[in-house]
Amino acid sequence: MAPKWKSSVISSSPPSADQDSQSVWIPCSGWYGLCFHVKYKCDCVYAAHETSKEDDKALLTLPHRVGRDIISSLEIGTLIYLRQSANVTVSLKTCCDQHNDQDPSCEWCLFLQCEGKREEYSTKKTLICAECCRMFASMNSVENHIGALHKVVDPNSIWKKPLKVVYEDEFMAVIDKPQGMTVMGDKPSLFRSDLLLALTGNGKDSMAKPVYVHRLDAATGGLLVLAKTKAAEIQLKSCFASRSCRKTYLALALGRIEPEVGTIEEAISGKPATTHYKVVQYYRCVDDMADGGWVTLVDLHPVTGRNHQLRRHLKHIGHPIWGDKKYAPYRKRKVGSDDNVDRADVVNSTSVEQDPHCRLCLWSVEITFPHPETEDDLTVSLGDRPEWLACLLAYQEKRVKEEEKT
């Protein structure tokens, strides 16, 4: 299967006339950025190679997917140093199911960013690590940083998968934040990643990158509100600070919570904290950590917003949340001795059968707040139950039936 190509080089001298239509001849040594676009949105994977090299190691794996868009290496700060007379080619690495019977189509081109030797590229911090968006002054610094912090970048990593957008307009967006993904911090986080670039607005007041207006714990999944403009950011942050928004969380708690409707009022760090709850359903469970052989699916409505409020309150009434490593008993699973293993990826790659307690069973499933522009109440819901919760409940039901047979 031969892909269809259209390629060109923007540089001080044109490529040779007899070059292969699938490769680009490099007229001068320098730093190049690669722009890559596919005609149809699909899951095909391509690889860029330098044909003069003896090894088959790819320079880049393409395309770079961010949200619903495909962006170039230039946009995420990935540059390649190529020597004069080298040849670069892009070949199909993995074909998706959609294109098993037809040729995928793509376009790509190399842009010369700067001529000169490797160490002469930059005197300022103009190079950006595409994984965590830290800036560096030289490519050697970037390489050392990647080797230490992002030694291996799995193409299936949580940081490479597009975000699920639940609601979006020109002022704001609401995404479904994956479990394990940190919202902010010095380590890899959503705010420091390039995942939010796909949600950047087009208006004159739009910020370079959307910003979060409230927080979710890394272990908690579900709805996270983002502002696209500075005015929307101010309005939304004020809304959350004044508690004029209403949030609903879904949790799976250990044991059988009774009564089915109630209020938990327990101070946290000396400050008053209130949570209303309503039982959704009880489930039989044979897991050792299930108190009395029961677990409870429960809706939680926090009135205040204290640190770890929901997790602390459920522990206070004797029903900690399933998978809570801080406030509930937990069998720690060894993930290997590699310090570069991303904990978010471990969480999202582990199956229910491997470790049923590897995820915190807590999700933000519904949120209501005044729209930053119209000021009308806007309600955004997650929709279906989280996939992990559905798998976990199905797994426990299977185990209960097996126990009954024996």
Q: Quick one: tokens of 169?
A: 């307009």
Which of 122, 135, 152, 119 lies closest to 192 in space, CA to CA?
135
Alpha helices, H only, 287-386: 309-316, 343-349
Exposure b/e, 214-253, CB count within 10 A at least 16 = b? bebbbbbbbbbbbbbbeebbebbbebbeeeebebbbbbbb
The SS3 assignment for 381 reads strand
> Which of 224, 182, 234, 133 minimizes the C-alpha distance to 342?
182
- Give the number of other CB atoms < 10 A from CB of residue 53: 11
Beta-ladder partners of 133: none
Q: Would residue 205 show up in a list of annotated catalytic residues for this protein?
A: no
- Which H or E element spans position 70? strand 69-71
CB-CB contact of 26 with 83 (8 Å): yes
Residues with Cβ within 8 Å of 120's Cβ and at least 6 positions away in sequence, in order, are none
Q: How big is the chain by its Cα radius of gyration, in Å?
A: 25
Query: Tokens 């406030």 appear where?
Result: 327
CA angle 305, 309, 315 (to 5 degrees): 165
Number of C-beta neighbours around residue 114 at 10 A: 13
User: How many C-beta neighbours within 10 Å does residue 126 have?
Assistant: 15
Catalytic residue among 69, 169, 217, 299: 217
Q: Are 203 and 229 in contact (CB under 8 A)?
A: yes
- In the block, tokens 């024996």 appear at 406
The 3-state DSSP class for residue 9 equals strand
Rounded Cα distance between 108 and 91, Å, is 11
Q: Residue 394 pairs with which residues in a beta bridge?
A: none
CB contact at 8 A, 218 and 311: no
Catalytic residues, by residue number, are: 217
